[in-house]
Amino acid sequence: MTARLQRARPGSPELQALVDELAERLGRSVAVDDPLVRMVCTSRHFGDEDRVRIGTLLQGRADNATIRYVLAQGVTQWSRAGFIDGRDDLGLLPRYVVPLRERGHLLGLLMVVVPEKTLTEDETRAIARSADAMAAQMHGEHIAGDTRKADERDLVLELVGTDAAARTTARRRGKELGLLGAAEHVMVTIVRLSCATELVRQCEAALWGALEGFRQTRSAQGLIAVDKERATLLQLRDHPPGQDEVTAQSARILDELRIFLGPSADAVIGVGGRHAGLDDAWTSYEQALVAARAARRLPTLKSAGDWELLGEFAVLLQLPEHALNASLIPKPLRVLSGTHGGDRLRDTLRCFLEHAGSIPRTADALGIHRTSLYYRLRQIQEITGLDLDEGAHRLTLHFGLRIEELLAPGADGAV
């Protein structure tokens, strides 16, 4: 099982040797995890294995509840080693945790199973020496990994950029490197976080952790660009994804980010349109930015916006941020809102417009008699001075209601 896990998320032979050496010296189970508490490599058991350890070997990662618990102890912010308590309900024995840092950057977590929560001075010194060696080894590997990630990031940003010549060059280079196949359809997804300054490195790791599973799937080949609090996932496919697949992908990404970072990161996702050919990746990218802005402003989207489902919001959200303000709300709608009973009339108006002006469907949706609906509509026309039989007047009011949704308290479109 250990070998299968290491193939799934391999640590280098050099790092594995350091882990095995420390474990044999201590006579205790030892593992190195990445900053998201996903196992990189592990030693053999010493009779101290617990349910979490066994489950991790079987599944390739700890269960979500365990990851949340360990991260909640603040281990990624620790400046020195310490113990975390066990949890019987999780099947977790106490562990001695050493943050593996180089030049202040967290590279991983060294974990030693210590059921009795007591180490001798010799054991503590041995762990400290091994931790230094592991951090140095991981730092070298991290630099190489950062270089590859930077190259991939640059390629993605050129493919979705506005410079047509740069896009052509990037497509050629990507195909020469074997990073871009001959798939006929492209879709771009934007993920945006709000992280405290001291957590930026953890946010970057979380974005990679949440997206890397979509770099290579049965139906898509992907490339990722991560920059602090924002990530771009460019996916190439043989056929356009179904709506259920897109929705499920967004939900999984959000779930992963919440596991790794908690709700405070305030993650949102924007999915661009599905286009034929890599030439239109930049179009999908621009649409994904709009969709992410919608996800930030509209609570009904539950943090995941999809360009192809935005309707008229797709038009309104292309207005610059400074222009998207209350001045855009039509005066007749502002007058209606300020009238006694205005909330009820606005709700009636919204329902009427969203049911394409159908009296029977609107009355049914509101649960009122048609006579009452006609009365309310006459009130709306008298107050606003607009004719609800006129298409242009309906459009004015409908856009006004949509703008009000975008300007609702707490909505923030910064992306």
Whether residue 103 is found in the same domain as residue 234 = no
Residue span of the structural domain in which 122 resides: 2-145
Whether residue 223 is found in the same domain as residue 301 = yes
Whether residue 262 is found in the same domain as residue 349 = no
pLDDT at residue number 263: 78
Query: CATH no. for residue 336?
Result: 1.10.10.2840
Query: CATH no. for residue 230?
Result: 3.30.70.270
pLDDT of residue 322 exceeding 80, the answer is yes
Domain count, the chain: 3
pLDDT of residue 200 exceeding 90, the answer is no
Q: Mean pLDDT over residues 116-130, rounded?
A: 96
Whether residue 295 is found in the same domain as residue 357 = no
pLDDT at residue number 205: 87
Q: What is the pLDDT of residues 328-387, one digit of tens each?
A: 999 999 999 888 888 999 999 999 999 999 999 999 999 999 999 999 999 999 999 999
Of 69-73, 85-89, 123-127, 140-144, least confident by mean pLDDT is: 140-144
pLDDT grade, residue 412 (50/70/90)?
low
Whether residue 172 is found in the same domain as residue 35 = no
Whether residue 103 is found in the same domain as residue 19 = yes
97 within domain boundaries: yes
SS3 annotation, the chain: CHHHHHHHCCCCHHHHHHHHHHHHHHCCCEEEECCCCCEEEECCCCCCCCHHHHHHHHHCCCCHHHHHHHHHCCHHHCCCCEEECCECCCCECCEEEEEEEECCEEEEEEEEECCCCCCCHHHHHHHHHHHHHHHHHHHHHHHHHHHHHHHHHHHHHHHCCCCHHHHHHHHHHHHHCCCCCCCCEEEEEEEECCCCHHHHHHHHHHHHHHHHHHCECCCEEEEEEEECCEEEEEEEECCCCCHHHHHHHHHHHHHHHHHHHCHHHCCEEEECCCEECHHHHHHHHHHHHHHHHHHHHCHHHCCEEEHHHCCCHHHHCCCCHHHCCHHHCCHHHHHHHCCCCHHHHHHHHHHHHHCCCCHHHHHHHHCCCHHHHHHHHHHHHHHHCCCCCCHHHHHHHHHHHHHHHHCCCCCCCCC
Q: What is the pLDDT of residues 206-243, one digit of tens each?
A: 999 999 989 888 888 899 999 878 999 999 988 889 99
Q: Structure pTM?
A: 0.78
Whether residue 254 is found in the same domain as residue 389 = no
Whether residue 238 is found in the same domain as residue 283 = yes
| Average pLDDT score over the chain | 90
Q: What is the pLDDT of residues 12-55, one digit of tens each?
A: 899 999 999 999 999 999 999 999 999 999 999 999 999 999 99
